[in-house]
Amino acid sequence: MSTHFPSQFPVRFLGRTLQAARQRARAARARGEVDLGASALEWAIIAAIVVVAASVIGGALYGVVKAKSTKLETCANQPVNTTCAV
């Protein structure tokens, strides 16, 4: 199981979400329900907000992990029985 997501993952997710919303709106119009068009727009906006939030959180988490990794690598290269100054 891989936890690596390609860089296109948020874009693909948003595209698929918008496509599904459009299909639902078309089906609702075919049934005579014209009010659900606004609902599709609301879902698209919510999906966009979720994608942006996930990207921001992912970027912050990446920065923390990278900083800890650098510190660990620096301390791991110290001679035995010495303290790490980092």
Give residue 7's pLDDT.
61
- Render pLDDT for 10-61 as a digit per residue (tens, 0 to 9): 677 778 888 888 888 788 778 877 665 567 788 889 999 999 999 999 999 9
- For residue 74, the number of C-alpha atoms closer than 13 Å in the C-beta half-sphere is 10
**Chain centroid offset of residue 14 CA:** 10
pTM of the model: 0.49
What are the structural domain ranges in the chain? 9-76
